[in-house]
Amino acid sequence: MATKTELGPIARERKYTQDKQVDEGLIPRKVPIVCSTRFGIALILHFCNFIMMAQNVIMSITMVAMVNSTSPQSQLNGSPEGLPVDSFGGLNKAPKSLPAKGSMHGGQFAIWGKWGLPHEQNRLCSIALSGLLLGGFTAILISGFIIDTLGWPFVFYVFGGVGCVFCLTWFVVIYDDPVSHPWISASEKEYIISSLKQQVSSSKQPLPIKAMLRSLPIWSICLCSFSHQWLVNTLVVYIPTYISSVYHVNIRDNGLLSALPFIVAYITGVVGGYLADFLLTKNFRLITVRKLATILGSLPPSVLIVSLPYLSSSYITATAFLTLSCGLSTLCQSGIYVNALDIAPRHSSFLMGASRGFSGMAGVIVPTVSGILLSQDPEFGWRNVFFLLFAINMAGVIFYSIFGEADVQDWAKERKLTRL
């Protein structure tokens, strides 16, 4: 009886130790995203995207003033008032340079492959990518004022200086993974590593180019991204011009109408990321969330644009359709634009750069094709441009709906090399 009495507490203590190990190892303590290191990284990426897009936009805005002016004090020639400005306040040719930003995104998704938890990737990516919208809007808003008051060189001084600050911040704060980060808390480090241990491996794998070229899920991402960029470029380049030419109202003259599409798109992009993560917590399938976000970000904006030629009431209705289209289009940030993290976490950086580069071709093709359609048929040219946009977006969404996946592909999984 004495032996049995003595073994009871020992057995209970062992069981308690085992349960504690299970709690600490298999179910790590959850670290809230707010005020966490990974949230801080998302904010830094937000401002890095902000300054990258702003620098992209100011190159086009200051180009004519830079050529016409020989002195920063020459207010007559240095003023942007004589520039060919579109309805958003930017140059009519400016959007052609926007696809150049495609090569900037690859490195960001390599970070989220090691920092972004599966149930947080949508909101973290949406916070980071929303900086692009804010940067373009801010550059358009204040570049003209800087040129008028200080001269065009100061546009580069201001945005270049801000870019240097965020570049230094990037080098100091951003690290490849939580293991190498010196300031992350131990609890958050363990939480991230435990959550991603099935996805991230320290071993380097060769890039399976042939398997990627044969992968239909990758082609669905590339083609749907291309069709969505066709929509975005048409929204930026031609919809404001259409409203100006048809209704003889330049929405640039109204500060609220000029800012509203950007503000709505900015808010919708961030909220869409949180909504996607919320659906995942409600046991929605990952591929369902990806396809739902892509469909909502592509088809409704296309339908709204196609309906523009049939509106004859007022330019307010057309501007409302433009604003709603811009807002909904950013929902794709939680769809096709982060899908590479799902199907190939190890190669997400390369895939995102490749898909962005492929979709960036839309920025070159859209002005050419739309210009031909408008010049050949002045009466129905706008209608043809919008119906072509709808057809391309419908084709991209259908292809992605059929072949899009969210499971890690076989060629993207870790393979252990064996030697004979």
DSSP 8-39: HHHHHHHHHHHHHHHHHHTSPPP--STTSHHH
The fraction of the chain above a pLDDT of 70, given in percent, is 75
- pLDDT tens, position by position, 380-389: 888 999 999 9
pLDDT at 152: 86
- pLDDT tens, position by position, 175-229: 888 888 888 888 888 888 887 765 555 556 788 999 999 999 999 999 999 999 9
Is the predicted pLDDT of residue 312 greater than 80, yes or no? no
Tell me the C-alpha distance between 193 and 199, whole Å. Answer: 10
> Domain 201-419 adopts which CATH fold?
Growth Hormone; Chain: A; (1.20.1250)
Which of 47-51, 205-209, 329-333 is least confident? 205-209
Which of 2-6, 142-146, 175-179, 183-187 is least confident? 2-6
- pLDDT tens, position by position, 111-139: 877 887 877 888 888 888 888 888 878 88
CA 190 to each of CA 27, 123, 182, 309: distance values in angstroms, whole numbers, following the listed order: 10, 21, 14, 56
Tokens of 322: 């433009």
Is the predicted pLDDT of residue 254 greater than 90, yes or no? no
Is the predicted pLDDT of residue 91 greater than 50, yes or no? no
Task: Find the radius of gyration of the CA atoms of the chain.
Answer: 25
For residue 272, name the pLDDT band (cuts at 50, 70, 90).
Answer: very high
Is the predicted pLDDT of residue 90 greater than 90, yes or no? no
Tell me the C-alpha distance between 66 and 80, whole Å. Answer: 10
Is the predicted pLDDT of residue 293 greater than 90, yes or no? yes
What would the mean pLDDT of 31-60 be, rounded to a whole number?
83
Tell me the C-alpha distance between 373 and 382, whole Å. Answer: 8
In order, the DSSP letters of 67-134 are HH-SSTT-HHHH-GGGS-B-TTSSBTTGGGGGGGGGGGSHHHHHHHHHH--TTTHHHHHHHHHHHHHH
pLDDT at 78: 44
- pTM for this one? 0.77
What would the mean pLDDT of 403-420 be, rounded to a whole number?
76
The fraction of the chain above a pLDDT of 90, given in percent, is 30
pLDDT at 200: 54
Is the predicted pLDDT of residue 292 greater than 90, yes or no? yes
Is the predicted pLDDT of residue 322 greater than 60, yes or no? yes
Cβ atoms of residues 151 and 87 within 8 Å:
no
pLDDT at 395: 97
What would the mean pLDDT of 150-157 be, rounded to a whole number?
89
3-state secondary structure of 16: helix
pLDDT at 211: 92
What would the mean pLDDT of 145-156 be, rounded to a whole number?
87
What are the extents of the domains in the chain? 35-67+106-194, 201-419
What would the mean pLDDT of 246-253 be, rounded to a whole number?
66
Q: Which residue has the higher pLDDT, 296 or 177?
A: 296
What single-letter amino acid sits at 11? A
What would the mean pLDDT of 32-40 be, rounded to a whole number?
78
pLDDT at 74: 45
Cβ atoms of residues 364 and 298 within 8 Å:
no
What would the mean pLDDT of 272-295 be, rounded to a whole number?
93
